[in-house]
Amino acid sequence: MKGMLFVMSGPSGAGKTTIVKAVLSELEGVEFSVSYTTRPRREDEVDGVDYFFVDEKTFKSLIEKGEFLEWAEVHGNLYGTSKNFVESCLNNGINMLLDVDVKGALNIKKIFKDGVFIFVAPPSFKELKDRLVKRHTEDPNNLEKRIEDAKFELSQISKFDYLIVNTDISASVKQLESIIISEQLKISRFGEFVGKYNFYKSKDGVDL
């Protein structure tokens, strides 16, 4: 059976990366898709683990070679998802978890109709701004851009399948795990297993 695609999205500062990392360390059978980006690496980030950090020229050549499943300019930098990695994992039955911006998620939705799209929202816009300011990862210009971009991103919630309002990290982690587990337990995922129990014949000929 093919793997399932789970796409996490939401505004910068909502906490999706923290939730994703916690879930990946606890749930088996789910692989993270490491994106490519032109954004400078933050101090605590590792190349090849958090992102593949590349310059703009390399990124553009990857676009030309058709290496991306989707790519987008997000808050002034380029980000892209490796097509080959995601598709080969899915074909080998591995479930994939992606952390992409809202435009990227909506583009993926056009290609993967049976993907599961999860939006992570902050409890309030004020809380989002406070979190972005407190984490000190962006310069003032980029910080402003992230806050402005969040207005569009939050307006797209209704296009997603699930909403996690991230008030408490451990509750949000449980919610994402529940989504991933429940989606895998849908009858439609079981294929032949369900078919092998189809030996019951109604004695009175009544269709059940």
- Footprint on this chain of ligand 5GP (rule: CB under 6 A): 12, 35, 39, 70, 72, 74-75, 79-81, 99-101, 104
* CA-angle at 19, arms to 47 and 139, nearest 5°: 55
Report whether 104 contacts 81 (CB < 8 A).
Answer: yes
Provide the minimum distance between the beta carbon of 198 and ligand 5GP in the complex, in angstroms, as a whole number. Answer: 42
Please report, in angstroms and rounded to a whole number, the separation of the first and last CA atoms in the chain: 29
Minimum Å distance from CB 72 to ligand 5GP?
Answer: 4
Looking at beta carbons only, is 35 or 175 nearer to ligand 5GP?
35
**Closer by beta carbon to ligand 5GP, 4 or else 98:** 98
- Residue closest to ligand 5GP, measured at CB: 104
Nearer to ligand 5GP, 15 or 104 (CB): 104
145, 76 contact by CB (below 8 A): yes
Helix/strand/coil for 130: helix
- Which residues are bridge partners to 86 per DSSP? none
Nearer to ligand 5GP, 3 or 15 (CB): 15
Determine the distance from the C-alpha atom of residue 61 to the mean position of all C-alpha atoms in its chain, rounded to a whole number.
Answer: 24
Q: Which helix (H) or strand (E) holds 4?
A: none
Query: Shortest approach of ligand 5GP to residue 25 CB, angstroms?
Result: 18
Closest distance to ligand 5GP from the beta carbon of 91 (Å):
20
